[in-house]
Amino acid sequence: MVFSSFAPVAAALIGFGGLAAPHVPESVLQLTVHETSGRVTSASLTCDPTGGTHRHRDTACATLTAVDGDFARITPHRQKCTMIYSPVDVTALGSWHGTRVTYRATYPNKCAADSQSNGVFAL
């Protein structure tokens, strides 16, 4: 009878072997906005499943999914921006469904970067 208390523990340990490994994201990107003032903002974005440190990760993943990760095909959203010229450089590095991503662009200001990227660079 000493071993009868071991049976539930053994069954539980054997059962752990059937657990699936965590789902690895299909897409992993590091997004950066570098302002002329010297301020740098960066966020991670994972899609499929959605995650990372991006404030609007659901919207950013939806935008990128619609263009299959091709930043050049993003349709800008309408947004009023000031005409103040304060350029920002943006970068996206990582992979989108197994394809390497290296994207760089310069926008006239942070608002334009947000608008032109449909929120992807709204860090």
pLDDT beyond 80 at 56: yes
pLDDT beyond 80 at 83: yes
pTM listed for this prediction: 0.79
For residue 51, the one-letter residue type is G
Backbone angles phi and psi of 68, in degrees to 5: 50, 40
Phi and psi based region of residue 48 (left: phi greater than 0; alpha: psi -120 to 50; beta: remaining): left
Dig out the tokens for 103 from the structure: 């994207």
Q: Using DSSP, state whether 38 is helix, strand or coil.
A: coil
Q: How far apart are CA 3 and CA 35, in angstroms?
A: 67
Which of 19 and 108 is assigned the larger pLDDT?
108
> What percent of the chain lies above the pLDDT cut of 90?
79
In angstroms, the Cα distances linking 26 to 23, 116, 119 are 9, 24, 20
Nearest to 60 by CA among 33, 82, 37: 33
How far is Cα of residue 77 from the mean position of the Cα atoms in its chain? Answer: 19
The pLDDT, as a whole number, for residue 25 is 84
